[in-house]
Every structure is written in structure tokens, then in C-alpha cells.
Amino acid sequence: MSFVDWLVFFQEKGQNYRSLFDLSGAGMPIRTIIEPFRIKSVEPIRWTTREQREQLLRAAYYNLFLLPAGDVLIDLLTDSGTGAMSTHQWAAVMEGDESYAGSLSFVRFRDSIHDIFGYKHVIPAHQGRAAERILFSCMCKKGDVVPNNTHFDTTRANVEFVGAEAVDLPCAEAKQPSINRPFKGNMHVGALEELIARVGRERVPLVMLTITNNSGGGQPVSMENARAVSDVCRKHRIPLYFDACRFAENSYFIKLREPGFADRRPKSIAQEMFQLGDGCTMSAKKDGMANIGGFLCTNDDLLAQQERNLLILTEGYPTYGGLAGRDLEAIAVGVEEALDEDYLRYRIASTGYLGNHIAEHGVPIVQPPGGHAIYLDARAFLPHIPADQFPGVALANELYLEGGIRSVEIGTLMFGPNAKLDLVRLAIPRRVYTQSHIDYVIEVILEVWNRREQIRGMRLTYEAPFLRHFTARLEPVVGRPSNNTVIEKTATRG
């Protein structure tokens, strides 16, 4: 089915799909959506045989993090720092001013960010988690509580590192992977009110809103929800901060799905949303369209001073924050490019095309497709593999074996036995893969889907004491899957 057929097919399916993915509402005629760029520099990717991949998997202890990247054909491990820069960004890189203090590149970086985000202070950092560490170190103390629609792992870890409690307050629909709603990234506003009433306003130093909600399936937050959260924060005089990693994708979803925004430019939607808050943290490795970098923003003068002091201690002087001048230039151009409508139209359509196409064949995914990634529901995909045999790892390994595709498990291996879901995330790097690459990914997933009964579970042979998914070693379970496999812990071996 070509992209045009697919679009017509989904438009015929009725209002549900139409309202979520109808690009004609955004001034888009029904034609093939092409990559809005041409390719000036190419990076070869390497084919391997199935036998080679079997060997490579064995050598990597069935953990895709341990694979050499050169042996991966299509790498969907993350959309973070893996994007392609534009000619304008590469040209700007040559303008990088590497002065230690007062760099001209910082001025361009600050002005470009200020134009979109609107906050008074812009502080560079080497990536998102550095911005988070500085923000929470300055704002939180032991015993505090930080609500978020859903904390990303590093955000949660940085809140907990200062002794505060990270509380996820996703909306009710977010807990049901298969239901199709436009803004499953929303925060549960009633739960926020209840939390503040229960713990007391003094223990909540800030509220965070993650746009889009990565850990919740890459789902967007509506303007209406951001406004409601902002109203609660203002009422209680609690600052609201955005985790803005994928702010441009979130803005485009609002344009497509929220009444009253169809004629607005993504940039003005982003500006309106940021006005609802008091600052943000940002990983420029996502919608900054850069390979490294981040920043934090605030309107609070005193806080900014404390943040800069901490920055100098661990990241660098406030006009470079651990980045080279050339990185600041790439980000200054990148944040603008991320808001380009042609780019966003292609980006969202391409991810939706992948998700809807496999879903149409029965493959269980988190619905609807997110902005930066598709999440396969591994428990529903492989119902014969119990959670303690890591269905997500088994499925991710199978996608590599079948077609050289690397994805990432977000489930029992990553979060431990209490994981609520076992998902496999296929994150799409920005401007890197073409429609034919995506078609190839669809073919591979469907081939694995067709022989899903033959896939076996996995067992751990080594795990580190924390963040075990990065270095874990596994092996296939031999024989029939059972519910009582003992997970071997041999932390001293290997």
C-alpha cells in the first residue's frame, strides 16, 4: 500500500482517524508526503547476513546496547542526538566563536531560544540531564515532591538524587495502550490538585510538564491541559517548568488535533504554551536538531544566579555551559528548523505511517502513534512469553535478527519486575531515514509478527546493581516457555 493509498484508507475509516491524522486540514493535499530535503552527504549502512546477526547477537549477550553500531542496518534505539544536521546548521558550525567568555555564538544561541521560549534567562548545558540536575539541585530539597505528567528516567533520577519524590500524574487514558485519544500525554489535573492538598503547597517547589510525554508513548499535551495545569500552579503560586525536549512535535500535534489551532504556525503555538510556564529544561538532542547540547531557562533572577553558580562549578562558564561555540550555533539554527511546517508534516506523517500500517495488520502498538517513536506492546505481541522472560527483549532481538533493526526494550529489563508494560520502542532519528527505510521496517515487523509463536523468552545471566538494562547479559530460554523460570543473578560473573 503506497502512502497515498494509506492516507485515503485511513481517511475513509472515519472521523476517529481523520481527526488524528488528517493532514489536509493543515493545508495538505492528498499526495505522497516526501522528505522535505534532498541529500547532500550520505552515510553508508552495512548489510549483514542472518548467520552473522545470530553470531553478533550471541557475542552481545542478546543485549542490543552491546552491539557495535556498525553492525546495525537501521538504528531506532533513540531519536536523541542521532538526527542529521542541515546545510544551514553546518554553515553555522563554521561561525562558531570558541571564546571562553562572551562568545558571539552564545548571543546567537540565547536570542534564538529567547525568541521561541520567551524566558528571561537562557543557560546552556551539555545535555538535558545536566539542565535537570542544576534545576533540581537549586529548587528541591529532601522531602519535597515534584509532580510531572510522566518523568523521563533521568528526570526522575535527578529529582530523587536531591532527596525529593518524583510523582507521575498521567491522565486516565494514558494507562490504556490500545485506546486512541488525541492527547494521551496530558496531566491529570484533578490528581495534581489532590496531591498539592495532601502534601501541602510548601513541599511542592515546582510542577513539571513533559512535552511530548516520552515515557507515556511520545503522546502530546494539549494547550487546554497546559492551561489548566498552569492555572492550578498560579493559584498555589507554584512555578511550572516544561521538559521541552520535543516541543516542536507537541506544537504540531496541537495544530492537527486541537480545535482553534489549525491555522496557527507551530512557532506561535510553542510561544503560547511556554508563556504558561516559568521556565524549562531542554535536551537539544531532540527538537534542538543537534547531536549534543541542552539548556535551562527561567524567569526567576535569583534562581538564574544560583543556577549559573552551579553551572560554573560543573559544566562551564555561563556563555558556553559545557558546549563548544559551534554546538551553540547548531542549536541556534536547529530550534528554528524544528518548527518548520514542511519538516513537521513529514516527521509526524512518517511516524504515523509506520504505526498505523503495522496496527492495520493487527500488530499491537501504543495508540495513537507518537511523534518521535512507535511503541510495540510486547506482552500482547508475545502472549506466550511471561513478563519474567522479558518479552520486550525477545521481540527487540527478533527484529534485529530478522532485519538488522535496533530498537529498545522499555519494560521488565529496564524497570524490574514491577514494570507495568513491556514495550519495544522504535524511535525515529530526525531527517535520517527515508520513506523506503520505513517501508523496510514495516516489512520486517510484519515478518516477525507472522511467526511470533516461534519466538522464545530470555533469561538473565548477569545484571548490574543499577540501570541494569545497559549492561545486562541474557540468553534464550531453551524448551517450552514456563512461568516459573528462576532469574539467575550472577553479578560477579563476567
What distance, in Å, lies between the first and last C-alpha atoms of the chain?
48
> What is the closest distance, in whole angstroms, from the C-beta atom of residue 25 to ligand F0G in the complex?
28
C-alpha–C-alpha distance, residues 74 and 319, integer Å: 37
Q: Which residue, 285 or 308, has its beta carbon nearer to ligand F0G?
A: 285
Which of 80, 86, 250, 435 lies at the binding interface for ligand F0G (CB under 6 A)? 80
Q: Which residue, 78 or 186, has its beta carbon nearer to ligand F0G?
A: 78
One character per residue 426-465, x = contact with ligand F0G (rule: CB under 6 A): ----------------------------------------
Decide: is 129 part of the binding site for ligand F0G (CB under 6 A). yes
Q: Which residue, 209 or 438, has its beta carbon nearer to ligand F0G?
A: 209
Length of the chain: 494
C-alpha–C-alpha distance, residues 129 and 153, integer Å: 10
Which of 56, 60, 85, 245 lies at the binding interface for ligand F0G (CB under 6 A)? 245
C-beta separation of 67 from 54 below 8 A? no
Which of 124, 294, 325, 371 lies at the binding interface for ligand F0G (CB under 6 A)? 294
One character per residue 140-159, x = contact with ligand F0G (rule: CB under 6 A): ------------x-xx----
> What is the closest distance, in whole angstroms, from the C-beta atom of residue 292 to ligand F0G in the complex?
8
C-beta separation of 438 from 464 below 8 A? no
Residues that contact ligand F0G, how many (by CB under 6 A): 15
197 closest CA partner among 268, 249, 145, 270: 145
CA distances from 24 to 14, 18, 209, 349 (A): 14, 10, 30, 12
Q: Which residue, 128 or 355, has its beta carbon nearer to ligand F0G?
A: 128
- Helix (H) / strand (E) element for 46: namely none
CA distances from 81 to 269, 331, 435 (A): 24, 11, 21
The angle subtended at Cα 373 by Cα 404 and Cα 47, nearest 5°, is 15
371 closest CA partner among 426, 423, 327, 325: 426
Which of the stretches 104-112, 121-129, 432-440, 442-450 binds ligand F0G when contact is defined by CB under 6 A? 121-129
Decide: is 128 part of the binding site for ligand F0G (CB under 6 A). yes
Which of the stretches 123-131, 175-183, 300-308, 399-407 binds ligand F0G when contact is defined by CB under 6 A? 123-131
Query: Which of left, alpha, beta for 404 (phi over 0: left; psi -120 to 50: alpha)?
Result: left
- Which residues inside 246-285 make contact with ligand F0G, applying CB under 6 A? 283, 285
Judged by the rule CB under 6 A, the positions of this chain that interact with ligand F0G are 78, 80, 127-129, 152, 154-155, 210, 214, 243, 245, 283, 285, 294
